């Protein structure tokens, strides 16, 4: 329970309606998109502008009450579960596109804006904002920035961090800072913009972002290649890059995924394939045709069993269906779906997939893997049932070993979902003790009283998964 | 991939003794597998009309499921706010196609409302009205006809003029007054009274089908029922209209009266099986959506389960049947102004689209009409706010949704706004009236629009 004087202040700042601590509000802000995690906050607040955020932070700081800022709560790392209670700050009301600057090709937007609505607006102006996380229909720009979301276009176009060039953020003290600007070059001091991108709400509350826009590609072509040999598929990925071709999309599905997808979408996929690659190139028509022809040659050289190049848009849509259905098909197998994002250098993809399959076998759990082959970002996806504690424990052991394998192969524990609560115990494996110390120092500089999203990123102990309450 | 041994060890439901009686009933009635299947990805949020209007998590399917689960798990006791929130859902089920995990949200909300209804303490007048409508009027053909005749009498005898003129109508809340003003002329003469119980196919018979005539449809929109039969006949179908059929039970199911819904379903199973037909045709998305789920409704009734599966598989939307099996006549609009084609647009019926999965067929039919250009309305797939009796019980939210809907409708500049369900039709009529475009835009059922445009049609009513 929060101090009555504090809640009175909070209500004064945002208005009676926009601070809630009734049962319904608390329960419906106790979870996010991560399975098996739930923890009730003490209150939920919906600010309307930066000034209100600043006043709220000043009030909370005075009472040392923690705050979890969030958009739609669709993250997969437990990043917005209020594990230490406090106030959940929902940014949805701050959803204005403040400006699209056609001369500088930038957009300035409040961070509660839904990503898909933002990109639709940008595309209606003939421009392009490439980051496309699968959750973009509901996730917010602020959430994407906090988690540094990736997506299917990461290989060629980069991820959220490559498009954020300026930020407005409110510190734990309530002070407002502005970083970067409509600037393609800016080396004035430490790059706080990039530091805040991916900071998961632990350093500041991001209220406004200036984003870089690019011209849209004129033309796109889609193809599918199937392999009986996993290494053939992996070599194809490496060789495409070696030939200095950077496809817009280079997606991968392993055999268990192919089986599940075919069963779900009835696509008639050959079930004896070990891997399917979905490849797209965009750009000038001539260059695209040239690249696709070269990629086709590479696939054939690496003994692809079947290569299909879409000649029409409908055909392309059909090829894309296989990859697009992967998550849905897997999610329907069992009640609980745990989607991770271990990432390795792309040259090690085949090794990683084989390791994942061995690990799944060892712990007798079902794990299918698909993901973004071009950037080495894999989604090993376990299907289980949260009610079966024993099986869930084996799934957790398997993932621990998968993280370990990723690190061994020169990779990372998370490519695009973030650390949050779920991967905090493993962070030290990736960044080392000294790395952790530096990060703790940064956290302390921004948030000396540990009020901003406490319990995330920094685990009390390394390598022990935390499961709270009943999911 | 699933090991059956491990499944056996999973407790189906939490092992809790609830002190709260509603929590106990919910634990017994809710499908805990479905509650567990929701993985909280949030993909349903942008599909949900009430979430879009409010931006509030508890007003979303994910939020509502979390609240239900919290009650069943004993994390919270259900209070008045909980019940209000469950009633705030339109039941449009737009969240279901958006759900990667295929959570049966429609079933969960119905089970919850059913549990709430078990413990509801309605005031005497509400109790009386519920009893009158759910037990007295809708299940009984005779009462419905009586209601139709009374309404017709009210509308035609001058009583309506008196009611409006004397300000009697002012005694009713504004939204009910508005509804009253757009009600079409009711009738006590339904489709059977007009054309009998069997209507022959024109030309070679493709199949024998049955019409599900509906309650509201046959009292308020009997013309549409007649036109549906005639249109099917033109397309090569012999149509029977079993006279012993009863209400589908949708209004009961959505209002938590599950036992009564099941009783009605059992009667319909028997009646339609005896009709000896290949398809059971629905021209109202709201009824059709429950009809195609009779298999689920009766899955715990071993005596009727098999027949219910047959029934559910036989139900089809009229547009889909016409497109997939019909011999379509030529449709043409005679109303050609200076060579310009007439613009039309379409508002999806949520249950037709999200449950019966028929959204393409009506559009394909509309696009076949000569001299007509089809304009897709922005967000045509979103609920109009009618949602059964939602616009009567939740006028504020329904009004807000309607306002946004009409903005999109006006953008199309369509001469005709077509729908596939009586509730949507009335709501859109209300919208057209309220937003002052009734001189430019006419609301019609797709079937009526098509039937009136059969080229060279001689058989006029």
Judgement on whether residues A227 and A346 belong to the same structural domain of the protein = yes
pLDDT band, very low/low/confident/very high, at A281 (cuts 50, 70, 90): very high
Cα-based angle A304, A306, A308 (whole degrees, multiple of 5):
120
Judgement on whether residues A94 and A82 belong to the same structural domain of the protein = yes
* Residue A28 forms contact with B (CB below 8 Å): yes
Q: Answer yes or no: is A460 within a domain.
A: yes
CB B214 within 8 A of CB B251: no
Kindly tell me if the per-residue pLDDT of B274 is higher than 50: yes
Judgement on whether residues A404 and A433 belong to the same structural domain of the protein = no
Judgement on whether residues A153 and A277 belong to the same structural domain of the protein = no
Say how many domains are in chain A: 2
Domain CATH code at residue A301? 3.40.462.10
pLDDT band, very low/low/confident/very high, at B161 (cuts 50, 70, 90): low
Smallest CA–CA distance from A29 into chain B, residue: B57
* Residue A86 forms contact with B (CB below 8 Å): no
**Alpha carbon of A445: minimum distance to chain B alpha carbons (Å):** 33
Task: Give the domain-ending residue among A408, A435, A458.
Answer: A408
Smallest CA–CA distance from B86 into chain A, residue: A24
Of the candidates B3, B1, B27, which has an alpha carbon nearest to the alpha carbon of residue B13?
A: B27
Query: Is the Cβ pair A27, B46 closer than 8 Å?
Result: no
Whole-model pTM: value is 0.88
Q: Answer yes or no: is A413 within a domain.
A: no
Query: Is the Cβ pair A137, B76 closer than 8 Å?
Result: no
Q: Residue B169 gets which letter from DSSP?
A: G
Kindly tell me if the per-residue pLDDT of A364 is higher than 70: yes
Domain CATH code at residue A455? 3.30.465.10
Judgement on whether residues A309 and A396 belong to the same structural domain of the protein = yes
Could you give all domains of chain B from N- to C-terminal order, each with its CATH number?
11-118 (1.10.1060.10), 124-182 (no CATH), 191-325 (1.20.1050), 342-451 (3.40.50)
Judgement on whether residues A249 and A283 belong to the same structural domain of the protein = yes
Burial call B406-431: b when 16+ CB within 10 Å, e when fewer: beebbebebbbbbbbbbbbbbbbbbb
Judgement on whether residues A131 and A162 belong to the same structural domain of the protein = yes
Model pLDDT for residues A371-397, shown as the tens digit of each residue: 999 899 999 999 999 999 999 999 999
Query: Best of B9, B71, B86, B101 to disrupt the A interface by mutation (most A CBs within 10 Å)?
Result: B101
Q: Which residues of B touch A35 (CB under 8 A)?
A: 39-40
Q: Which residues of B touch A40 (CB under 8 A)?
A: 75
Q: Which two tokens stand for residue A322?
A: 């296989």
Judgement on whether residues A120 and A136 belong to the same structural domain of the protein = yes
Q: Answer yes or no: is A414 within a domain.
A: no
Q: Answer yes or no: is A421 within a domain.
A: no
Q: Answer yes or no: is A418 within a domain.
A: no
Model pLDDT for residues B216-251, shown as the tens digit of each residue: 888 888 999 999 999 999 999 999 999 999 999 988
Judgement on whether residues A92 and A125 belong to the same structural domain of the protein = yes
Nearest CB neighbour to A332, from listed B10, B85, B101: B101
For chain A, give the mean pLDDT: 94
pLDDT band, very low/low/confident/very high, at B338 (cuts 50, 70, 90): low
Q: Answer yes or no: is A246 within a domain.
A: yes
Query: Is the Cβ pair B37, A388 closer than 8 Å?
Result: no
* Residue A12 forms contact with B (CB below 8 Å): no
Mean pLDDT value across residues A146-162? 94
Judgement on whether residues A387 and A363 belong to the same structural domain of the protein = yes
**Alpha carbon of A274: minimum distance to chain B alpha carbons (Å):** 17
Distance CA(A387)–CA(A199), nearest Å, equals: 32
Q: Answer yes or no: is A416 within a domain.
A: no
Q: Residue A114 gets which letter from DSSP?
A: B
Distance CA(B88)–CA(B90), nearest Å, equals: 6
Judgement on whether residues A288 and A376 belong to the same structural domain of the protein = yes
Nearest CB neighbour to A24, from listed B40, B42, B58: B58
Containing structural domain, residue A179: 1-216+427-471
| Residues comprising chain A, all counted | 471
Which uninterrupted H or E stretch holds B208?
strand B207-212
Q: Quote the ipTM score.
A: 0.93
Judgement on whether residues A303 and A398 belong to the same structural domain of the protein = yes
Model pLDDT for residues B303-335, shown as the tens digit of each residue: 999 999 999 999 999 999 999 999 999 998 877
Neighbouring residues of A183: CB distance < 8 A, sequence distance ≥ 6: A165, A166
Of the candidates A94, A103, A141, which has an alpha carbon nearest to the alpha carbon of residue A120?
A: A141
Task: Give the domain-ending residue among A408, A440, A458.
Answer: A408
Min mean pLDDT across A53-57, A317-321, B102-106, B325-329 is at A317-321
Q: Answer yes or no: is A457 within a domain.
A: yes
What residues 412-471 of chain A have any CB closer than 8 A to a CB of chain B? 470
């Amino acid at each position: 329970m929060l101090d009555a004087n504090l809640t009175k202040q909070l209500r004064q700042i945002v208005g009676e309606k926009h601070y809630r601590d009734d049962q319904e509000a608390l329960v419906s802000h106790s979870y996010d998109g991560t399975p098996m995690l739930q923890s009730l906050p003490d209150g939920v607040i919906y600010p309307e502008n930066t000034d209100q955020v600043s006043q709220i932070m000043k009030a909370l700081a005075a009472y040392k009450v923690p705050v979890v800022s969030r958009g739609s709560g669709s993250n997969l790392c437990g990043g917005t579960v209020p594990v230490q209670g406090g106030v959940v700050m929902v940014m949805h009301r701050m959803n204005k596109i403040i400006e699209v600057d056609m001369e500088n090709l930038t957009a300035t937007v409040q961070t509660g804006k839904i990503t898909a609505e933002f990109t639709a607006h940008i595309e209606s102006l003939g421009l392009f904002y490439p980051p496309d996380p699968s959750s973009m229909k509901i996730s917010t720009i602020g959430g994407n920035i906090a988690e540094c979301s990736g997506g299917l276009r990461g290989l060629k176009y980069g991820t959220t961090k490559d498009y954020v060039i300026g930020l407005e953020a409110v510190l734990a003290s309530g002070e407002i800072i502005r970083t970067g600007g409509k600037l393609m070059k800016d080396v004035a001091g430490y790059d706080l913009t990039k530091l805040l991108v991916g900071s998961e709400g632990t350093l500041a509350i991001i209220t406004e972002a200036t984003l870089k826009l690019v011209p849209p590609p004129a033309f796109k072509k889609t193809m599918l290649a199937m392999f009986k040999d996993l290494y053939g598929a992996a070599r194809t990925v490496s060789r495409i890059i070696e030939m200095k071709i950077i496809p817009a999309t280079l997606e991968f599905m392993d055999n268990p995924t192919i089986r599940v997808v075919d069963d779900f979408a009835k696509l008639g996929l050959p079930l004896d394939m070990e891997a399917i690659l979905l490849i797209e190139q965009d750009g000038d028509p001539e260059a695209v045709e040239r690249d696709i022809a070269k990629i086709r040659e590479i696939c054939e050289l690496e003994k692809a069993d079947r290569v299909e190049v879409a000649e029409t848009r409908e055909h392309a849509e059909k090829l894309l269906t296989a990859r697009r259905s992967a998550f849905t098909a897997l999610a329907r197998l069992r009640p609980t779906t745990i989607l991770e994002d271990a990432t390795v250098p792309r040259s090690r993809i085949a090794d990683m997939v084989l390791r994942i399959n061995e690990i799944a076998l060892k712990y007798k759990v079902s794990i299918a893997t698909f993901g973004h082959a071009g950037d080495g970002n894999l989604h090993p996806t376990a299907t289980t049932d949260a009610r079966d504690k024993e099986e869930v424990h084996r799934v957790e052991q398997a993932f621990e070993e998968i993280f370990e394998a990723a690190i061994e192969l020169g990779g990372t524990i998370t490519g695009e979902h973030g650390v949050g609560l779920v991967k905090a115990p493993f962070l030290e494996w990736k960044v080392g003790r000294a790395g952790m110390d530096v990060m703790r120092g940064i956290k302390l500089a921004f948030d000396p009283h540990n009020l901003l999203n406490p319990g995330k990123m920094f685990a009390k102990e390394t390598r022990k998964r935390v499961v709270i309450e009943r999911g | 991939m699933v090991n059956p041994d491990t499944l056996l060890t999973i407790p189906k439901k939490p092992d809790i003794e609830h002190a709260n009686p509603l929590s106990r009933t919910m634990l017994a009635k809710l499908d805990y597998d479905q509650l567990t299947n929701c993985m909280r990805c949030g993909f349903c949020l942008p599909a949900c009309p009430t979430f879009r209007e409010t931006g509030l998590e508890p007003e979303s399917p994910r939020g509502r499921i979390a609240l239900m689960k919290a009650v069943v798990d004993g994390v919270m006791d259900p209070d008045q706010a909980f019940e209000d929130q469950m009633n705030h859902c339109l039941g449009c089920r737009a969240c279901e196609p958006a759900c990667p995990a295929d959570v049966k949200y429609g079933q969960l909300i119905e089970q919850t409302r059913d549990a709430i209804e078990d413990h509801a303490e309605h005031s005497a007048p509400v109790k009386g009205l519920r009893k009158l409508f759910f037990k007295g009027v809708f299940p009984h053909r005779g009462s419905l006809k009586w209601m139709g005749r009374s309404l017709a009498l009210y509308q035609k005898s001058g009583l309506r003029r008196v009611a409006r003129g004397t300000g009697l109508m002012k005694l009713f809340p504004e939204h009910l007054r508005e509804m009253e003003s757009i009600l079409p002329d009711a009738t006590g003469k339904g489709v059977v009274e007009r054309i009998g119980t069997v209507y022959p196919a024109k030309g070679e018979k493709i199949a024998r089908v049955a019409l599900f005539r509906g309650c509201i449809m046959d009292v308020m929109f009997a013309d549409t029922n007649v036109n549906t039969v005639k249109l099917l006949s033109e397309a090569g179908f012999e149509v029977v209209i079993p006279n012993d059929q009863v209400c589908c039970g949708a209004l009961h199911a959505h209002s938590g009266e599950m036992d009564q819904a099941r009783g009605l379903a059992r009667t319909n199973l028997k009646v339609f099986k005896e009709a000896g037909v290949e398809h059971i045709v629905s021209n109202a998305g709201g009824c059709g959506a429950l009809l195609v789920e009779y298999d689920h409704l009766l899955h715990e009734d071993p005596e009727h389960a098999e027949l219910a599966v047959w029934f559910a598989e036989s139900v089809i939307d009229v547009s889909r049947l016409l497109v997939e099996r019909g011999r379509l006549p030529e449709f043409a609009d005679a109303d050609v102004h200076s060579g310009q084609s007439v613009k039309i647009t379409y508002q999806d019926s949520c249950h037709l689209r999200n449950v019966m999965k028929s959204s393409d067929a009506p559009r394909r039919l509309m696009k076949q009409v000569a001299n007509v250009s089809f304009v897709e309305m922005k967000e045509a797939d979103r609920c109009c706010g009618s949602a059964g009796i939602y616009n009567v019980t939740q006028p504020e939210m329904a009004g807000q949704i309607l306002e946004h809907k009409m903005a999109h409708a006006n953008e199309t500049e369509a001469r005709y706004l077509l729908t596939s369900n009586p509730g949507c039709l009335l709501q859109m009529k209300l919208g057209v009236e309220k937003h002052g475009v009734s001189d430019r835009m006419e609301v019609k059922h797709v079937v009526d629009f098509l039937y009136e445009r059969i080229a060279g049609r001689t058989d006029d009513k």
